[in-house]
Amino acid sequence: MKAVSTLLDIVEEPIDLALLEAAIRPGDGGIVTFFGRVRGSAEDARTVTGLCYEAYEPMARAEFASIAREARERFGDVGIAIVHRIGALSPGDISVGILAAAAHRAAAFDACRFAIEAVKRRAPIWKKERYADGTAEWKENAP
């Protein structure tokens, strides 16, 4: 797969690390990945049986691009991949993948942390948790 400096996507299929690796360039010595997985329990300890993500895709992709631009402005020449899954997910499924690649590890770590925090805070993506007791609840993203 040819290296690109930025990969931004919203997908309905499982997120594969190989997809994120497209943002790694030949000069990158530091590569940091973050995967967010669906937890089996809610903040209030209820059992989560699954959740559903919805997104306003055009705006979410534009926000991903803005986040990638800001990461490069803050941390230098950083390759960024941001991929978020939508649809029905089960506990253990990966819901979001972030990869930051840079010549040195410090910039890669900083850019990866910045990217996931910004996605959670700014992207128009919503999740509805389903619980074992048959109830469901829309949850706010908390950075």
Whether 20 contacts 1, CB under 8 Å: no
Give me the CATH number covering residue 110: 3.90.1170.40
User: Looking at residue 2, what is its pLDDT?
Assistant: 46
Indicate whether 75 belongs to any domain. yes
In a domain, 142, yes or no: no
Count up the domains in the chain and report the number. 1
pLDDT-based confidence at 7, cuts 50/70/90?
confident
Residues of the domain holding 33: 6-133
Q: What share of the chain is helix, strand, coil (3-state, %, to 5)?
A: 30, 40, 30
Residues 88-112 have pLDDT tens digits of 999 999 999 999 999 999 999 999 9
Confidence of residue 4 (pLDDT cuts 50, 70, 90): low
Q: Is 80 a domain residue?
A: yes
Q: How does pLDDT run across 9-66, given as a tens digit for each residue?
A: 999 999 988 889 989 999 999 999 999 999 999 999 999 999 999 999 999 999 999 9
Residue 138 in domain:
no
Is residue 39 a part of any domain in this protein?
yes
In a domain, 53, yes or no: yes
Task: Fill in the DSSP letter of residue 13.
Answer: S
